[in-house]
Amino acid sequence: MKFLLEVTIDGEALAKDPAGELGRILRYWAGNVRHYALEPGDGADIYDSDYQEVGRWRIEGTGE
């Protein structure tokens, strides 16, 4: 399986402080993944601190 996290950093919050905002996103999802089974097909949208969608994480099987 693969854990894939994709974040677009052209959004306003990420443009202001890319390292700080990306760090916040990574800390949030590091703590939040325990709420998922982490099986192929699991995933969720990712939002910045302005609640704008900036990406998605997902679990893929090895054959994908």
Q: What is the mean pLDDT of the chain?
A: 88
Q: Write out pLDDT tens, residues 31-62.
A: 888 899 989 999 999 998 889 899 999 999 97
Q: Domain residues for 25?
A: 2-60
Overall domain count for the chain: 1
Confidence (pLDDT) at 64: 47
List C-alpha distances in Å: 5 to 47, 55. Answer: 12, 8
- pTM of the full predicted structure? 0.77
Asked if 11 and 48 count as a contact pair (C-beta separation under 8 A), the reply is yes
Amino acid symbol at 46: I
Cβ pair 38, 44 in contact under 8 A: no
